[in-house]
Amino acid sequence: MSVFPKISLRLEVENYLKAGFMNKEILSALGKQEAERRFEMLLHNLSHPPSFTTVRVNTHLASVQHVKNLLFDELQKQFNGLSFPVLQHPDLQDVLLIPVIGPRKNIKQQTCEVIVGAQCGSAVLRGAHVYVPGIVSASKFMKGGDDVSVYSDIKGKCKKGAKEFDGTKIFLGNGISELSRKEIFSGLPELKGVGVRMTEPVYLSPSFDNVLPSYLFLQNLPSAVVSHVLDPQPGEKILDLCAAPGGKTTHIAALMHDQGEVIALDKISKKVEKIKQNALLLGLNSIRAFCFDGTKALKLDMVKDTDGEPPFLPESFDRILLDAPCSGMGQRPNMACTWTLKEVMSYQPLQRKLFTVAVELLKPGGMLVYSTCTVTLAENEEQVAWALEAFPGLQLQHQDPQVSTGLHWWLSGEESACQCRKCRFDPWVGKISSRRKSATHLSILDWEIPWIEEPGGLQSMGLQKSWT
């Protein structure tokens, strides 16, 4: 059910997306009216949270059933005895689903208002409280303990510290202020805790702040699917080429039973530290994280290896995950994107550089999984078409597991690349045979399924790299 307006985009960006989603195959199969309806549904659902909160169990430290029982008890405490079902995903046994309740429409709005930034607002819709850094504005006489209504400044027009705001704002629910307006805008950098504790959110979803931190990892469903598709095995050497913040890295290590070696790269040092912290928290010792630019991870000097540190010699890894930097236009909820078309289209060259490095670093018989969190053709289908042409030995390969989430309506014009019908957001994969190196696979995965009420979906295509 739509309670918020559709995602706000620049007209040039919306037209760009529409041109891709209403290609000639779609118009022929559905007709213009139905195709337009589904595209509008996509835009509306992008601005709303998924219907489930998903968490991944750290199976390295505990069984799924044990953690499921602990989580059920924690949620009862959090919601004062209200029973939230904790469901185990039928295909991904280490993933738990908690239904999101909402939208709740009969919430009385308070006189005292707090305005938060769009990013903070999205977190609130996923179950978070309001933290002080996310607060942009508060009513003039707001004191600690006041009942307040929280709104999201989706277009970023509210000035920091404003006493009132009459621009575009979206109601997120009610809460209790932990601090006064004066304290929030005192300028003290150490104020980073909860500013408003949400009591009546429009979407009721559990908060996972410090909930079973060694046993659970908050992770969108398609993100958890990615590591299962990679299918890492104990004793293998795995590369996570763009790894921060480490959710997939730690999942890979857990699936390997922490036996083998997982190399995680990111070019931002603070993010690398976060990967290391997550590995330590989850008790995983097979992960080695390096601050290194993935585009430079291939060692061109063939004289000797670098003692296990980047850059690496060609064909060094059994499996590689390339969770590429992207325009992020598939993440939910997202009520507004202010990017220009140039910015949205700027990621394809970087993705291809990383892709080229990944192919070179992959051993014969290895698996390469490529994933994005966006909905653009240029970063998904067009990358597949390019890869098949640029690397003749790569071939599409079947994806396992296939997580069915409904709507098989996307048909792409890239038939030369895929040689088959595609499901844009459903898990689907075609097969290809090898020419140069055998049994090397690549899967392309889109995160989020914006037009159905599920936490996420994916499109997958495997590429096989054959023996020379």
Average pLDDT over residues 378-399: 84
Strands 52-57 and 216-218: antiparallel
Q: What is the pLDDT of residue 439?
A: 33
Do 229 and 107 form a contact (C-beta atoms < 8 A)? Answer: no
| Two structure tokens written together for 149 | 């209504």
pLDDT band at residue 459, thresholds of 50, 70 and 90? very low
pLDDT band at residue 437, thresholds of 50, 70 and 90? very low
Average pLDDT over residues 56-84: 93
Q: Does the N-terminal peptide bond of residue 5 adopt cis geometry, omega within 30 degrees of 0?
A: no
Q: pLDDT of 333-374, one tens digit each? A: 999 999 999 999 999 999 999 999 999 999 988 989 888 998
**Which range among 2-16, 395-409, 424-438 has the greatest average pLDDT?**
2-16
30's enclosing H/E stretch is helix 24-30
Q: What is the CATH number of domain 221-449?
A: 3.40.50.150
When the candidates are 1.20.1070, 2.60.40, 3.30.70, 1.10.1060, the CATH number that belongs to 52-99 is 3.30.70
pLDDT band at residue 74, thresholds of 50, 70 and 90? very high
Higher pLDDT, 140 or 436: 140
What are the C-alpha distances in Å from 114 to residues 143, 345, 353, 387? 12, 35, 44, 48
Dihedral sign, CA of 156, 379, 222, 242? negative
What's the whole-number average pLDDT of the chain? 85
> Is the pLDDT at 434 greater than 80, yes or no?
no
Q: Which CATH architecture has domain 113-201?
A: Roll (2.30)
Amino acid of residue 465 = K
What whole-number percentage of the chain has pLDDT above 90? Answer: 66
Domain boundaries, the chain: 15-46, 52-99, 113-201, 221-449
Do 236 and 319 form a contact (C-beta atoms < 8 A)? Answer: yes
| Two structure tokens written together for 306 | 């670098």
> Which residues line the annotated binding site for S-adenosyl-L-methionine?
242-248, 266, 293, 323
> Is the pLDDT at 435 greater than 50, yes or no?
no
Give the DSSP letter of residue 210: T
Of 120, 326, 337, 373, the active-site residue reads 373
pLDDT band at residue 68, thresholds of 50, 70 and 90? very high
- From 70-74, 120-124, 203-207, 461-465, the region with the lowest mean pLDDT: 461-465
- From 51-65, 69-83, 432-446, 451-465, the region with the lowest mean pLDDT: 432-446
Do 52-99 and 221-449 fold alike per CATH? no
Please indicate whether residue 373 is annotated as part of the active site. yes
pLDDT band at residue 305, thresholds of 50, 70 and 90? low
